[in-house]
């Protein structure tokens, strides 16, 4: 096992242990406690720069929704700010819903796409954390993720996956079958992949909220610093909006 994968496994273990401690049962969803505002600066609003507009849909669970954070502090907000600071005229529509499993996301995916003002240039999909906490079978998670990517392929919309990982203590079979979903699908659908959305943040109390599951504003900033360049790199290949 590579050092990087060992580090990701360790981080995933912290995520699951934190979620299970917060929930005290195997039917837990992210999040289980009532949301509370987290102290910290709101992501500064940056005016859209000149140039072709880019519409991005951020579709995920509480990690996208900004659970426990003030309005404007979510990961999609932070990415949008960084893209605009880099000269990309991007607007990110945040369709994160706290507690969503991949199945719940699949049920509302078409609705979210159909209710955008126009066809998006890119869709970010960030689901799977609640599947791990509920120990949903990897085959079901894979089927749900595949259905959403099939929908994007039909509409000729590129995707970027922010992945999730299962820890070794859920068993070798579960871990193997779950963790391979995101790299497999990224390869199959030619999607950009960030293997584990909480990499470098989970387990660091300076970057996490008190529930140990969701990032605080500083954690969001670190995640966005890594994701924004990847999003920017995916956009130049897209045809400018008419």
pLDDT by residue (tens digit) across 167-199?
889 999 999 999 999 999 999 999 999 999 999
Kindly state whether residue 42 falls inside one of the protein's structural domains.
Answer: no
Confidence band of 238 (pLDDT split at 50, 70, 90): very low
pLDDT of residue 60: 98
Confidence band of 48 (pLDDT split at 50, 70, 90): confident
pLDDT of residue 66: 98
Kindly state whether residue 2 falls inside one of the protein's structural domains.
Answer: no
Indicate the pTM of the whole model: 0.84
Dihedral class, residue 172 (left if φ above 0, else alpha if ψ from -120 to 50, else beta): alpha
Cis link prior to 31 (omega < 30° from 0)?
A: yes
How crowded is residue 44: how many other Cβ atoms within 10 Å of its Cβ? 11
Q: If we measure between CA atoms, which residue out of 98, 100, 125 comes closest to residue 189?
A: 125
Quote the tokens at residue 212: 């140990």
Average pLDDT over residues 142-168: 97
Average pLDDT over residues 68-91: 97
User: Does residue 207 register a pLDDT over 50?
Assistant: yes
Kindly state whether residue 26 falls inside one of the protein's structural domains.
Answer: no
User: Does residue 98 register a pLDDT over 70?
Assistant: yes
Computed over every residue of the chain, the mean pLDDT equals 86
User: Does residue 19 register a pLDDT over 70?
Assistant: no
Average pLDDT over residues 46-55: 90
User: Does residue 15 register a pLDDT over 70?
Assistant: no
What angle (nearest 5°) sits at the alpha carbon of residue 95, between those of residues 89 and 100?
Answer: 150
Kindly state whether residue 132 falls inside one of the protein's structural domains.
Answer: yes
Residue 123, strand partner residues: 57, 159
Q: CA 118 to CA 109: how far, in whole Å?
A: 15
Confidence band of 45 (pLDDT split at 50, 70, 90): confident
User: Does residue 3 register a pLDDT over 70?
Assistant: no
Q: What is the pLDDT of residues 20-40, one digit of tens each?
A: 334 323 323 333 333 444 445
Kindly state whether residue 20 falls inside one of the protein's structural domains.
Answer: no
Active-site residue, from 61, 62, 100, 102: 62
Average pLDDT over residues 40-49: 71
What CATH number is associated with residue 120? 3.40.50.1110
Q: How many structural domains is the chain composed of? A: 1
**Known catalytic membership, residue 211:** yes
Kindly state whether residue 178 falls inside one of the protein's structural domains.
Answer: yes
Q: CA 3 to CA 116: how far, in whole Å?
A: 41
Q: What is the pLDDT of residues 104-133, one digit of tens each?
A: 999 999 999 999 999 999 999 999 999 999
* SS3 state of residue 233: helix
Contacts of 198-203 spanning 24+ positions with Cβ under 8 A? 198/11, 198/15, 198/63, 198/223, 199/7, 199/8, 199/11, 199/226, 200/11, 200/226, 202/11, 202/12, 202/14, 202/15, 202/18, 203/10, 203/11, 203/14
Look up the domain containing 143 and give its range. 53-234
Kindly state whether residue 47 falls inside one of the protein's structural domains.
Answer: no
Where are any strands of DSSP class E within the chain? Answer: 54-60, 90-96, 122-126, 159-162, 192-194
pLDDT of residue 46: 86
* SS3 state of residue 239: coil
**Known catalytic membership, residue 214:** yes
Confidence band of 13 (pLDDT split at 50, 70, 90): low
């Amino acid at each position: 096992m590579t050092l990087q994968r060992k580090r990701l496994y360790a981080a995933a273990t912290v995520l699951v242990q934190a979620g299970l401690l917060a929930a005290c049962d195997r039917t837990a969803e992210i999040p289980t406690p009532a949301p509370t505002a987290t102290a910290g600066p709101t992501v500064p609003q940056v005016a859209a720069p000149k140039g072709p507009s880019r519409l991005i849909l951020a579709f995920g669970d509480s990690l996208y929704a900004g659970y426990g954070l003030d309005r404007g502090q979510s990961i999609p907000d932070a990415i949008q700010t960084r893209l605009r600071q880099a000269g990309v005229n991007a607007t990110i529509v945040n369709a994160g819903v706290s507690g969503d499993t991949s199945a719940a996301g699949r049920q509302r995916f078409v609705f979210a796409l159909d209710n955008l003002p126009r066809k998006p240039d890119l869709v970010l999909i960030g689901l799977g954390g609640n599947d791990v906490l509920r120990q949903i079978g990897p085959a079901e998670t894979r089927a749900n993720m595949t259905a959403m990517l099939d929908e994007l392929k039909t509409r000729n919309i590129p995707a970027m996956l922010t992945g999730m990982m299962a820890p070794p203590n859920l068993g070798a079979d579960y871990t193997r079958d779950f963790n391979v979903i995101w790299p497999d699908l990224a390869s199959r659908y030619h999607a950009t992949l960030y293997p584990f959305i909480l990499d470098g943040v989970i387990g660091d109390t300076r970057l996490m909220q008190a529930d140990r599951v969701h990032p605080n504003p500083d954690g969001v900033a670190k995640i966005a610093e890594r994701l924004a360049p990847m999003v920017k790199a995916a956009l130049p290949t897209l045809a400018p909006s008419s």
